Structure 1
Amino acid sequence: MPLKAEEQAQSTLARVSKDTFKNGDSEHRTEVEPHTFAWGSTIVSAFQVARVFGGGGADIGFATSTDGGQTWTSGYLPGLTVNYKNGSFSAASDPAVAYDAKHGVWMISSLPVLNDNPEAVATSISKDGIHWGKPIIVDASGSDDKNWIVCDNTPASPFYGNCYTEWDSPGLGDLIFMSTSTDGGQHWGAAKNTADQASGLGGQPLVQPNGTVVVPIDGFGAMVSFRSTNGGQSWSSTSTIGFQEFRGQDGGLRSPGLPSAAVDGAGKIYVAWPDCSFRSGCSTDDIVMSTSTNGTSWTAPVRIPIDGLQTTLDHFIPGLGVDPNTSGATAHLAMTYYYYPKASCGNACQLYVGFTMSQDGGKTWTNGTQLAGPMNLSWLAPSQNGLMVADYLAVAYSNGNPYGVFAVAKAPKNGLLNEAMYTTTAPLLAAGQERISSAGEKPIPGVRGHYVWKYYDDDGEYPIPPGKLPHRRN
């Protein structure tokens, strides 16, 4: 297997948005944490703009392409924060994008913040992905985090047109909640828990063609999943996808080890996350992946062979995408991620964006390709949980072409940071590149992660004692 590091970038980047706010509580000229979704020729990405140290950004920004990634239009969500068009919240965080084909609307789910405290889960709606309405409140319990949204877009599904929002409550030990809309996001049903009252962070609900909703989520020490087979009327107990041994990143980078998930055209679920199980002494994080066809039984996690096992590269914050017009052994997968060339880099870390793809359902992958970097960590937006590019990423396929939107930082200018959203000017394709397999690789027995799992509440973050981690490997 080749031991080479990331191949040099083959794509030109284009900036798709820029922080133009001037509010006093933000670190300006910063944009972080994008999620991207595509339907047909339209691609919508949403992200935090003007990061506030205590949580969220001055507003949620969007960048939309209606021509399959050739050109982009950007703007901000109206009526969400005090910083743009008469909103009432001080900041907003955790954007996630969905499209509802039955009702013909785009949705951006977000987490409004008031005085550094998450106060609600909201949904903004648009007919074209460019002109957005004022937010509709999904939940206003006052202690919410890490929301996500998805819609059932299969006409033959018994729940076609249902949309589902997931979040957790830090004030209740990260208890998981789900809510369902049947009218294009205008109204949302009562929040419901899983059958086992599970806790978790960073869930990403996905819908299979038969209408089953599967929600992979970080269970603190393991990736777990739960599902609904009745259109969100009830939610199952959690199933274990795979344990997570997470090293975490040097340099004070914010990198919580959350999963990235996608579904192919036949309903197969793919879940990727950072893990050090294949490295002696947990020396560096790889990206591993597990799959399921039913959301309850999962394959053993395998390492995505971005590079060889003898390299020092550290891989984290994956953004996985699957072409919905492909499936099974010929499914097309693409993944962006951040990486350090050397995991043990202390305070001298150099940050890059990488990319890899598979055209055989994840059996083989291209060698990692550099898209952006190097970035000095001092160029990144500061946050209460570390220097920030994102907690999550995604790749979206538009008419068979994969595009990712990601934060790239450059040297500060005129006393301000210079971190913004970028994409590639051409699709993330790697025709002709060698395909690499990790077949035969096994996790190293006894490897344990270094990351300290944390409990989040409105007052900050606190380590979770190992005995209190519900899914931790003994």
Structure 2
Amino acid sequence: MRTLPRLSICLSVLALALAASPAWAAKRVSTDPFTNTDSQHATEVEPDTFAFGSTVVGAFQTGRFFDGGSSDIGFATSQDRGKTWVHGFLPSITVNSTPAGPYDRVSDPSVAYDAKHGAWLILSLPLNGGSGKAVVVSRSTDGGLNWSAPVTVSTTTGFYDKTWIACDNTKTSPHYGHCYATWDDANAGDLLLTSTSTDGGLSWGAKKTTANNAAGLGGQPLAQPNGDVVVPVLSAFADRILAYKSTNGGTSWRSSTTVATISDHGVAGNLRTEPLPSAEVDAAGKVYVVWHDCRFRSGCASNDIVMSTSTNGTTWTSPVRIPIDPTSSTVDHFIPGLAVDRNSSGSTARLALTYYFYPSANCTQSTCKLSVGFVSSVDGGTSWSAAQTLAGPMTMSDLADTSQGLMVGDYISTSFAGAKAVPIFAIAKAKSGSAFDEAMYASKLLVTALQPRPLRVTDEPVLSLQGDRVRRSHPLVTP
């Protein structure tokens, strides 16, 4: 087994006496230490998480550039189900890493664990300038505390985007120990690409397309217990959620099918958003996918979070509305991060959903108030808890700025560690002069204790689909 180089990581065990005030029901798990003058400090955005056993690992952009990417990928690891955390930054990727790597910047982190090979994996997208030039994976074999120099999955002279990773951790699966990396080739119209590793991320196979050369971005691979892999993804024109699958361990990928069309209310306040999916799978192989959508709101006045499910990745249920607020409310919900407890299934599946929201969809950059919300279900999404506010309100001018709007991330994430749902998300506090204070925070929520006022998905009438959105002809989301 390879010895992983130790990092001079801030293994400041954030046993966080940084615990939050009542208005901020979260604790800080990392902060931006970089000082390079070409990106914005102190900013951390766009987390993904994964949990296995008692360990939770999160990864996120640190030191956001205006036109794409960040100074480095940060990580935060808890080995006690979110009670205490250590944090640091991945080595050998960018010129700002320690030791330094060959790329200018890095973006789009995603986390997985390969149980067969005992390896934690963080997939990311290195950039030169504002263009994604490679897909790489960093490995840890000591529980997410120390990380290797990156292994290259694929490189391009063009423009890669939106990386994601997952592994098959079912011991009885014929493809146990296979890990799947997905991304898109923006220069080829967002052509969807996938590569497979069978040795814990040490080597990767050739990149593969789907049988119909499907295009899209933000695909999230999910390994079902039978070994099939389903990948929900946003279409290239952001007008539908698609899904494609492999039944042979990533040797080939079938043609994509439509999960549902999308109608989304343009999020106000110059906030960077797209209706990217967040997807998870339960113990029986049922796939759940959520995104923000305005189909249940009269005149498409604001977004709900909606959900569709499938047992085979080919046929999908009609989207249902997660009833966070009444359809008569002014609340706008977006950027969801869904968790499904992989030890539960069917009518007793435990679901947890973190999301951002505005109390009023009709706001401006100077008046929008951004907060983080949370709801949960213990019956597979049939009913949901009353909503909790985990953080906020935030002032928009305190968020990192990008060429596509102010940024907390194109995605956030929630994972189950035992009975606890552990979301990680960006919180921006008031600037000190021109210096930001946007960092990563985590909460630990006992889902079974959050059912005081259940709201059922059938409580609200289904309104006709009314779309008011105007899309770019090619809605490329830059890294």
| TM-score normalised by the chain length of structure 2 | 0.92
Alignment match of 2:324 (pick from 301, 306, 314): 306
Deviations along 1:395-445, whole A, 9 cap, x unmatched? 111112110000000001253010000012554664341110121645433
| Residue of structure 1 equivalent to 2:50 | 37
Q: Is the 8 A contact 2:419 2:447 kept in 1?
A: no
| Residue of structure 1 equivalent to 2:213 | 197
Structure 2 matches for 1:346-361, cutoff 5 A? 346-347=364-365, 348-361=367-380
Relative CO higher for 1 or 2, CA cutoff 8 Å, sep ≥ 6? 1
SS of structure 1 residue aligned to 2:347: helix
Q: Distance in 1 between matches of 2:451 and 2:352?
A: 15
| Residue of structure 1 equivalent to 2:203 | 187
Structure 1 residues 336, 451: CA separation in 2 closer, same or farther (over 3 Å shift)? farther
Structure 1 residues 457, 279: CA separation in 2 closer, same or farther (over 3 Å shift)? closer
Alignment match of 2:78 (pick from 65, 72, 87): 65
Q: Distance in 1 between matches of 2:195 and 2:468?
A: 34
Q: Distance in 1 between matches of 2:461 and 2:278?
A: 22
Deviations along 1:256-291, whole A, 9 cap, x unmatched? 110100011111000000000001111000000000
| Residue of structure 2 equivalent to 1:465 | none
Give the drift of 1:86. Answer: 1.5
SS of structure 2 residue aligned to 1:107: strand
Structure 2 matches for 1:230-269, cutoff 5 A? 230-269=248-287
SS of structure 1 residue aligned to 2:170: coil
Q: Distance in 2 between matches of 1:61 and 1:454?
A: 34
Q: Does 1:290 align with 2:308?
A: yes
Alignment match of 1:411 (pick from 413, 418, 430): 430
Q: Does 1:100 align with 2:110?
A: no
Deviations along 1:375-408, whole A, 9 cap, x unmatched? 0100000011110001111211111211000000
Give the drift of 1:134. Answer: 0.5
Structure 2 matches for 1:116-155, cutoff 5 A? 116-127=130-141, 128-142=143-157, 143-155=159-171
Deviations along 1:37-86, whole A, 9 cap, x unmatched? 00001000000001011111100000000111110000000001000112
Match of 1:19, as an amino acid?
D
Q: Does 1:115 align with 2:126?
A: no
Q: Does 1:51 align with 2:67?
A: no
SS of structure 2 residue aligned to 1:387: strand
Structure 2 matches for 1:205-216, cutoff 5 A? 205-216=221-232
Q: Distance in 1 between matches of 2:388 and 2:252?
A: 42
Deviations along 1:286-337, whole A, 9 cap, x unmatched? 0000000000010000000001111000000000000111000000000000
> Equivalent pairs: percent with the same residue?
51
SS of structure 1 residue aligned to 2:406: coil
| Number of residue pairs matched by the alignment | 453
| Residue of structure 1 equivalent to 2:239 | 221
Match of 2:306, as an amino acid?
V
Deviations along 1:124-160, whole A, 9 cap, x unmatched? 0001211000011111013210010000000100000
| Residue of structure 2 equivalent to 1:315 | 333
Q: Is the 8 A contact 2:385 2:451 kept in 1?
A: no
Match of 1:198, as an amino acid?
A
| Residue of structure 2 equivalent to 1:274 | 292
Structure 1 residues 225, 432: CA separation in 2 closer, same or farther (over 3 Å shift)? closer
Give the drift of 1:216. Answer: 0.2
Q: Is the 8 A contact 1:9 1:370 kept in 2?
A: no
Match of 2:175, as an amino acid?
F
SS of structure 2 residue aligned to 1:68: coil
| Residue of structure 1 equivalent to 2:176 | 160
Q: Distance in 2 between matches of 1:57 and 1:332?
A: 34
Structure 1 residues 432, 295: CA separation in 2 closer, same or farther (over 3 Å shift)? closer
| Residue of structure 1 equivalent to 2:28 | 15
| TM-score normalised by the chain length of structure 1 | 0.93
Give the drift of 1:12. Answer: 3.2
Match of 1:48, as an amino acid?
Q
Q: Is the 8 A contact 1:314 1:343 kept in 2?
A: yes
SS of structure 1 residue aligned to 2:407: coil
Structure 1 residues 287, 432: CA separation in 2 closer, same or farther (over 3 Å shift)? closer
Q: Is the 8 A contact 1:92 1:110 kept in 2?
A: yes
Q: Distance in 2 between matches of 1:215 and 1:365?
A: 25
SS of structure 2 residue aligned to 1:130: coil
Alignment match of 1:384 (pick from 378, 383, 403): 403
Deviations along 1:339-386, whole A, 9 cap, x unmatched? 000001022111000000000000000122111001010000001111
Q: Distance in 2 between matches of 1:425 and 1:185?
A: 29
SS of structure 1 residue aligned to 2:106: strand
Q: Is the 8 A contact 1:12 1:425 kept in 2?
A: no
Which runs of structure 1 show a deviation greater than 6 angstroms over 4 or more consecutive aligned residues? 8-11
Q: Is the 8 A contact 2:54 2:418 kept in 1?
A: yes
Q: Is the 8 A contact 1:357 1:430 kept in 2?
A: no
Q: Distance in 2 between matches of 1:254 and 1:431?
A: 30
Deviations along 1:140-187, whole A, 9 cap, x unmatched? 013210010000000100000000000001100000001000111111
SS of structure 2 residue aligned to 1:171: helix
Match of 1:436, as an amino acid?
L
Q: Does 1:444 align with 2:463?
A: yes
Structure 1 residues 81, 404: CA separation in 2 closer, same or farther (over 3 Å shift)? same
Structure 1 residues 16, 428: CA separation in 2 closer, same or farther (over 3 Å shift)? farther
Structure 1 residues 308, 440: CA separation in 2 closer, same or farther (over 3 Å shift)? closer
SS of structure 2 residue aligned to 1:112: strand
Q: Distance in 1 between matches of 2:383 and 2:65?
A: 40
| Residue of structure 1 equivalent to 2:7 | none
Q: Distance in 1 between matches of 2:473 and 2:32?
A: 30
Q: Distance in 2 between matches of 1:435 and 1:9?
A: 23
Q: Distance in 2 between matches of 1:9 and 1:190?
A: 50
